[in-house]
Amino acid sequence: MKVDMKKRIVLADDHPMFRQGLKALLEREGFNIVGEASNGHEVIQMVRQLNPLLVILDFGMPLLNGIDAAREIQKRSPDTQILLLTMFEDDAYVLEALRAGIRGYVLKAQAATDLINAIREVLRGSIYLSPGVSEVVVKAYVTKQYQPSELLTDRERQVLQLVAEGNTTKKIASLLGLSVKTAESHRTRIMSKLDIHDTAGLVRYAIRRGLIMP
């Protein structure tokens, strides 16, 4: 197996078995997997330390989802290209992903050859959006009617994810480095914005948006 030191990649997905399979597939193609992370916070740190050419992020990860992790990575490690892997075909987050600095958007239902293709394109500076998904973007551009599908701010979405994962407000505050009072007011604001007034409703909303797995 020939390993090209230039093709350094970090992988982030919360399922080790998926990560191992992906690693094996990419190594066969000569990529060098230099780090593996299992949540959004971990991958931000790892990318900063290892400074890889590319990071592959799963969308649905605990603690911090792939898109919000991408935003941080773009800020802190602007030289690293970002590719998102997701299960969701009609994802309302495609435009959000592009704005977060993601340059490749690949579905888990696609084949390994598609992913490898996407990686090569992204490393060349292109944007790769999987078939199906690209329509959303084109349509939004053509009609210019795109309304941000997300009412929530980045911070609010992070809080929402943590609430839906079953964390207490105190835990959320400490995970995000906020005061309990601030976390509490984020929560109240989320509920009023979404017009959802119970935790169960927030959990279902987060599931629908793909922020957490049911």
Partner 1 sequence: MIRILIADDHTLFREGVRLLLEREGFCVVGEAADGEEAVRLAQQLEVDVHVLDFGMPVLNGIDAAREIRRKDPEAKMVLLTMYQDETYVLEALRAGFAGYVFKAQTDSDLVHTLREVAQGALYLGPNIPQSVIEVLTSNTQSAESLTERERQVVDLIADGKTSKQIAQVLGLSPKTIESHRSRIMQKLNFEQSTQLVCYAVRTQLSKPVKRR
Distances (CA, A) of 66 to 33, 184, 195: 18, 24, 25
Amino acid, single-letter form, for residue 209 = R
Q: Whole-number minimum distance, CB 173 to partner 1, in Å?
A: 17
Nearer to partner 1, 82 or 202 (CB): 202
For residue 54, the cross-strand partners are 9, 81
Nearer to partner 1, 78 or 214 (CB): 214
Answer yes or no: are the C-beta atoms of 95 and 147 closer than 8 Å: no
Cα–Cα distance, 82 to 55 (Å, whole number): 5
Cα–Cα distance, 22 to 11 (Å, whole number): 9
Nearer to partner 1, 74 or 156 (CB): 156
Residues that bind partner 1 (CB under 8 A): 14-18, 20-22, 24-25, 28, 85, 87, 106, 108-112, 115, 163-166, 198-201, 203-204, 207, 212-214
Nearer to partner 1, 72 or 82 (CB): 82
Q: Whole-number minimum distance, CB 201 to partner 1, in Å?
A: 6
Nearer to partner 1, 59 or 71 (CB): 59
For residue 104, the cross-strand partners are 83, 128
Residue 27 structure tokens: 């190594």
